[in-house]
Amino acid sequence: MIEYIDVLDEDMKPIAVATREEVHQKGFWHQTFHCAVMLQEAGKNYIVFQRRHPLKKTFPYKLDISAAGHLLHGESVEDGVRELEEELGISVDYKELVYLGMHKGVYLTEEYWDREFHHIHLLQTDWKLSDFTIQRSELIGLYQMEWQSFQAFLKGERSTVEAFGYEYNANGMMEERRIKAHQADFAAQGACWDGYFTYTFEQIEKALSRSD
C-alpha cells in the first residue's frame, strides 16, 4: 500500500504531496507524531521505550521513543494518536496527552534523507507494561526505565541505564529481559541525541514539574 504524505516548507506550510518513499529519497520536510509513555508505579515514574524490529530500514533493533509515526496526507497532529493503538495496542483520546512541543529533526545518509517536524507528546498512565500489545511488524519488545535513572544517564552522569521489559524471540515467544543500555543502543545518535532526545526529555521534566 502506497502512503502519501504532505510535503511542507521550512515554515511548516504545505506545498505538495509525495509518497513516503519520495519524501525520504528527496529529503522533503514532513510531519511526524511522537509520544513518550510514562508509567506510574509505587510512587515512581518509568519511561517506556520500544525495541525497533531488527528488519527496520532505519535504526534496526534500537531503543526508541514509546510510539511514533508519520502523519499522512490530510491528517492533523491530533490524528497521530492512532500510532498508540497501532504500535502499542491502546486506545487513547488525544485530550489525554500533553503536547510537549515541536522539534525539527534532520537525519541524512547517502540513501536516506529525513527532515521532520516532530510533534512530541507525553502520556502519563498507571498501566503496566504487560497491558500493551505491540505491533510486531514494527517492534519486537518494550522496556521501562526508571525516570530519575534515565535522566542521570541522559546528562552523562552514568554510562548505562537499567531497563526491564520483554522481547519476542525468533520463535515468537515472549521473553522477559533485564538489560543495561548504553547510548549506542538508542535510535537517537549524535546530533539526534543532543537535539531530539535532550529536547524531548527536558520538556517532559517541565511537564512533570507543572503537574506537581
State the residue range of the domain holding 192.
4-211
Q: pTM for the complete prediction?
A: 0.94
Cell of 157: 552522569
CATH number of the CATH domain containing 30: 3.90.79.10
Q: Could you tell me the mean pLDDT of each successive run of 10 residues in the chain, 212 residues long?
A: 95 96 94 97 95 92 96 97 97 97 86 90 95 96 96 92 96 95 83 76 91 68
Q: Quote the pLDDT of residue 121.
A: 97
| Domains identified in the chain, total number | 1
Q: What angle do CA 34, 118, 88 make, to 5 degrees?
A: 15
